[in-house]
Amino acid sequence: MSDQALGVEEIEALYTTEQGYRFARWGRPIAPVIFGVDDQTLSHLKAAITTTVGITGGSIAETDPELGANFMWFFCQSWDEILAVPDLDRMIPNLGEIIPQLKARNANRYRSFAFDAEGGIKMCIVLVRLSEADADIPAHVLATGETFQCLTLFQSNAFADHSPIAVLKENGLCLAKPNYAALVRAAYDPVMPIAADDPSHALRLAARAGMLFADMHQEGAQ
């Protein structure tokens, strides 16, 4: 795991797309619901989601007063199954166009976000196609990685060449790498904005994340 805090340029890159810098975090408690897995897998997924959401300093909720559930997971064997989910096309705009694109890219994951009036995340839908490559990935590892990438609005290719999580060889436990955990915890500091479109936000994030990362190292050394 990394022993160095994320720099300003690294953080800015995580939230920058062709349209510019865009950051958002959840503006409400996260209430998950999961479809398409057996009961044993469900328990592992829920445990991993709960632990990973804890990075924000908050906890998951049973329900969302407005939406019921606001963090929705759909597992499938093929993308065509997703098109058969009732009313999902009402929650994911252009779903009929997105699915062919996912097929063409041979993609296994897709995340869709909705936002509140302040620009904060109010809903996230995660689509997971279980391929042969996923057969060896434990449920808690998959859930930790996907949940982490939904805690803030990372740009879609933010972790294309590296992972923000680590699996401990000693016991198989999965957790966010300290530098990324510090970043998300800093993003959820009450003094930080729920949403931002100015790259200077990355400078503020880097300063707070750096202090949190240093505190983690100090505590670990004691």
Model pTM score: 0.93
Q: Which residues contact 189 (CB under 8 A, 6 or more apart)?
A: 208
Alpha-carbon span 70 to 108, nearest angstrom: 21
Strands 121-129 and 71-76: parallel
Give residue 171's pLDDT band: very low, low, confident or very high (50, 70, 90). confident
- Percent of residues, the chain, with pLDDT higher than 90: 84
Among candidate residues 126, 151, 176, the one where a domain is terminated? 151
The structural domain count of the chain equals 2
Q: Determine the pLDDT at residue 44.
A: 92
Determine the average pLDDT of the residues in 30-54: 95
- Percent of residues, the chain, with pLDDT higher than 70: 96
Q: Determine the pLDDT at residue 63.
A: 95
Among candidate residues 151, 176, 198, the one where a domain is terminated? 151
Inter-residue contact 34 to 46 (CB < 8 Å): yes
Among candidate residues 131, 151, 171, the one where a domain is terminated? 151
Same-domain check for residues 182 and 168: yes
Same-domain check for residues 217 and 166: yes
Supply the DSSP symbol for 43: H
HSE value, Cβ hemisphere, 13 Å, CA-based, for 206: 16
Same-domain check for residues 143 and 33: yes
